[in-house]
């Protein structure tokens, strides 16, 4: 150690980085404890030796030329981990493979311009984490690309399926109409020549084609619900429900169904599709009403996650085992009650709700009946009190304010 150089041992040992002092001949003048820990070379074994001899890579031009510039011109030197990986080839800690990744800086001592302090930071963990991040990122990007491709294919297939079912059901209508018409003509023109058995056959043909026409109409509605874009406009659900109740007025009066209507919100949605949604749900409630005092409650609840809309009836209810199945097309549950229909109404409801970003499900309240509930992922403008619409509400509806 040069005579005038203070004893830096203690200070250098305090540093949490590898640190050494070298002279202009690259001879080691001091060597701290961290470097001893990393290299197993003790201070007394390092001091006095040439750095280039202990670590031959330091004698390479890219290191020694710049270290020489440091002594010649006082210009500090930085060897980045990204470009050099390491300054001293040292085995990394924590059981890592390869060499310790290092960020190294060398500068002259302000008090001794013929000596330079070299500090070495261990960046191995950071670079290992970086490598892991890069691998994970590459995997995520690959997965995202695959998902995008799959999604594009699925969207395309869905569109084709919708188109197909729309075109198929549309094109089936015409021959079906012909079969019905001609079967009815045959029945009319040959009515006095046919045996009762033959007349019964013709009646079955007409009845079968009528059922098939209903099925096609529903199929068209189901396909239509997926074909058109959701045209989001502010929709007053009170108006939607009143229109639906108006359309079903005759059936409501025949069955003497009491309708309880909560004040509903204005939402951003497709008015036509939301009308279809309420129409199907209310018609469904009417269809499965066996109670002597049928009741339908069109309600809204305020949950923490947003509003939940619903249609609740006191009909035959739904076995929870079928709670999901009923939303699939053509799902008709075993029932002792004969009910008309194709089994596609609730699947249209699900499609409409999903296209509005929401979810639909059914619950079986303890008091009986079924409670269909759904959410819409759409901003709610306001809840509109029904007072202002009281004049428009038919008298079989109870408005809860």
Binding site for another protein (CB under 8 A): 61-62, 65-66, 69, 73-83, 103, 105, 107, 110, 113, 123, 126-127, 130, 133-134, 137
Q: Indicate the residue among 124 and 314 with the shorter CB distance to another protein.
A: 124
Q: How far is the CB of 121 from another protein (least distance, A)?
A: 10
C-alpha–C-alpha distance, residues 218 and 276, integer Å: 12
Q: Indicate the residue among 130 and 186 with the shorter CB distance to another protein.
A: 130
Minimal CA–CA distance to 379: which of 252, 276, 232? 232
CB atoms within 10 A of CB 103: 20
Q: How far is the CB of 386 from another protein (least distance, A)?
A: 57
Contact 282, 249 (CB under 8 A): no
Instruction: Give the strand pairing for 258-261 and 295-303.
Output: parallel
Angle, nearest 10°, between helix axes 237-247 and 271-287? 50
Q: Indicate the residue among 81 and 235 with the shorter CB distance to another protein.
A: 81
C-alpha–C-alpha distance, residues 386 and 242, integer Å: 11
Q: Indicate the residue among 87 and 288 with the shorter CB distance to another protein.
A: 87
Q: Indicate the residue among 139 and 319 with the shorter CB distance to another protein.
A: 139
Contact 350, 362 (CB under 8 A): no
DSSP code, position 29: E
Q: What are phi and psi of 108, to 5 degrees?
A: -75, 150
Q: What are phi and psi of 155, to 5 degrees?
A: -60, -45
**Strands lying side by side in the sheet with 28-31:** 28-31, 18-23, 115-122, 102-108, 77-79
Q: How far is the CB of 126 from another protein (least distance, A)?
A: 6
Q: How far is the CB of 118 from another protein (least distance, A)?
A: 12
Q: How far is the CB of 161 from another protein (least distance, A)?
A: 36
Q: Indicate the residue among 117 and 326 with the shorter CB distance to another protein.
A: 117
Q: Indicate the residue among 6 and 74 with the shorter CB distance to another protein.
A: 74
Q: How far is the CB of 108 from another protein (least distance, A)?
A: 8
Minimal CA–CA distance to 66: which of 97, 101, 26, 100? 26
Q: How far is the CB of 133 from another protein (least distance, A)?
A: 7
């Amino acid at each position: 150690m040069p005579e005038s150089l203070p004893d830096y041992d203690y200070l250098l040992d305090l540093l949490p980085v590898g640190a050494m002092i070298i002279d202009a001949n690259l001879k080691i003048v001091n060597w701290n404890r961290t470097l001893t820990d990393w290299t197993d070379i003790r201070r007394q074994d390092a001091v006095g030796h040439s750095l280039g001899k202990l670590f031959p890579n330091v004698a390479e031009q890219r290191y020694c030329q710049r270290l020489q510039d440091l002594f010649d011109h006082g210009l500090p030197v930085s060897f980045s981990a990204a470009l050099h990986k390491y300054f001293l080839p040292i085995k990394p800690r924590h059981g890592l493979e390869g060499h310790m990744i290092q960020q190294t800086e060398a500068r002259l001592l302000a008090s001794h311009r013929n000596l330079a302090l070299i500090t070495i930071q261990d960046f191995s963990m950071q670079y290992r984490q970086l490598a892991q991040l890069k691998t994970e990122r590459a995997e995520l990007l690959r997965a995202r690309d695959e998902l995008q491709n799959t999604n594009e294919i699925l969207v395309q297939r869905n569109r084709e399926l919708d188109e197909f079912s729309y075109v198929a059901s549309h094109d089936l209508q015409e021959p079906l109409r012909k079969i019905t018409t001609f079967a009815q003509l045959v029945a009319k023109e040959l009515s006095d020549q046919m045996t009762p058995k033959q007349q019964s056959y013709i009646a079955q043909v007409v009845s079968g084609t009528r059922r098939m026409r209903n099925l096609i109409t529903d199929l068209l509605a189901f396909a239509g619900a997926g074909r058109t874009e959701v045209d989001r406009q502010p929709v007053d659900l009170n108006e939607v429900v009143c229109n639906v109740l108006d359309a079903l007025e005759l059936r409501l009066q025949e069955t003497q169904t009491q309708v309880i209507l909560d004040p509903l919100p204005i939402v951003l949605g497709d008015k036509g599709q939301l009308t279809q949604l309420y129409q199907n749900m209310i018609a469904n409630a009417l269809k499965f009403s066996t109670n002597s005092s049928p009741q339908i409650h069109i309600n809204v609840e305020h949950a923490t996650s947003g509003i939940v809309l619903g249609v609740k009836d006191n009909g035959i209810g739904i076995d929870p085992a079928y709670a999901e199945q009923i939303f699939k097309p053509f799902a008709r549950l075993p029932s002792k009650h004969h009910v008309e229909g194709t089994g596609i109404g609730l699947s249209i409801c699900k499609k409409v709700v999903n296209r509005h970003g929401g979810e639909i499900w059914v619950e079986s309240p303890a008091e009986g009946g079924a409670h269909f509930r759904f959410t819409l992922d759409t901003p709610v403008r306001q809840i509109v009190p029904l007072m202002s619409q009281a004049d428009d509400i038919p008298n079989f509806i109870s408005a809860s304010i």
